[in-house]
């Protein structure tokens, strides 16, 4: 079975973590250039590449028109948000980005989308380590995510060794797009 690689994916921004290390909701933090929140910034970067952008998870949202889905209740962690969007749009591929990656770039998304091949069910970048929270998931991953949730395997990194999941290595000039920020001193 193969994926359709010509259609635009659904953008999925994951929010709602505890932010215990940061001390406040990361998706509401202002970008360095000021004004916009990380969520707004990431949404603006994803939008041109996506059919629509969906926020997955709980928490306050900045003013604006947002499509939001609650995390699924029979799951935990980022998988619960990815699974919510997968259930909502089961025939679509998902371009997933965690809300704590404010250095996401159009160059990184363009590169990632150009890596797609028909036989790939998912593309997971690897920098110093696997980056499944800024990755591309084809529609065929929906049943995989469902099986993971059913089996209590909530860590999304479990997919990295699965058949049809291809690990891709970003060129050095776009690697900062995969940096996630967890602590105030990293700002």
C-alpha 42/C-alpha 63 separation (Å) is: 15
Does residue 108 fall inside a structural domain? Answer: yes
Q: What is the per-residue pLDDT for 2?
A: 53
Burial class (CB in 10 A: 0-12, 13-18, 19+), 88: middle
Does residue 22 fall inside a structural domain? Answer: yes
Q: What is the band of 166 on the pLDDT scale with cuts at 50, 70, 90?
A: very high
Mean pLDDT of all residues in 90-117: 96
Does residue 144 fall inside a structural domain? Answer: yes
Burial class (CB in 10 A: 0-12, 13-18, 19+), 108: buried
Q: What is the DSSP letter of 119?
A: T
Does residue 4 fall inside a structural domain? Answer: no
Could you list the residue range(s) of the whole structural domain that residue 152 is in?
10-186
Q: What is the band of 3 on the pLDDT scale with cuts at 50, 70, 90?
A: low
Q: What is the per-residue pLDDT for 20?
A: 58
Does residue 3 fall inside a structural domain? Answer: no
Mean pLDDT of all residues in 162-166: 95
Q: What is the per-residue pLDDT for 180?
A: 87
pLDDT 10s digits, 53-102 = 999 999 899 998 999 999 999 899 999 999 999 999 999 999 999 999 99
Closest alpha carbon to 131 in 122, 144, 143, 142:
122
Q: What is the band of 185 on the pLDDT scale with cuts at 50, 70, 90?
A: low
Q: What is the per-residue pLDDT for 104?
A: 95
Q: What is the per-residue pLDDT for 29?
A: 85
Closest alpha carbon to 134 in 96, 170, 171:
96
pLDDT 10s digits, 8-19 = 999 999 998 666
Q: What is the band of 21 on the pLDDT scale with cuts at 50, 70, 90?
A: low
pLDDT 10s digits, 122-159 = 999 999 999 999 999 999 999 999 999 999 999 999 99
Does residue 119 fall inside a structural domain? Answer: yes
Give Cα separations from 160 to 16, 26, 169 (angstroms): 23, 26, 13
Residue 32 or residue 61, greater confidence: 61
Does residue 23 fall inside a structural domain? Answer: yes
User: Domain tally for the chain?
Assistant: 1
**pTM for this predicted structure:** 0.92
Does residue 58 fall inside a structural domain? Answer: yes
CATH at residue 109: 3.90.550.10
Cβ atoms 48, 68 nearer than 8 A = no
């Amino acid at each position: 079975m193969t994926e359709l690689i010509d259609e635009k994916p659904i953008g999925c921004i994951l929010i709602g973590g505890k932010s215990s290390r940061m001390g406040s909701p990361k998706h509401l933090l202002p970008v360095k250039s000021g004004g916009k929140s990380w969520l707004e910034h990431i949404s603006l970067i994803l939008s041109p590449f996506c059919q629509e952008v969906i926020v997955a998870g709980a928490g306050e949202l900045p003013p604006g028109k947002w499509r939001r889905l609650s995390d699924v209740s029979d799951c935990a962690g980022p998988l619960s948000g990815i699974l919510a969007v997968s259930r909502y749009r089961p025939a679509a591929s998902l371009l997933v980005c965690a809300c704590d990656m404010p250095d996401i770039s159009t160059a990184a998304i363009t590169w990632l989308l150009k890596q797609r091949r028909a036989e790939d069910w998912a593309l997971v970048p690897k920098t110093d380590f696997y980056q499944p929270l800024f990755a591309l998931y084809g529609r065929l991953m929906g049943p995989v995510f469902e099986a993971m949730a059913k089996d209590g395997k909530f860590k999304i990194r479990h997919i990295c060794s699965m058949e049809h999941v291809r690990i891709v290595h970003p060129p050095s000039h776009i690697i900062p797009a995969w940096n996630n920020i967890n602590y105030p001193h990293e700002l």
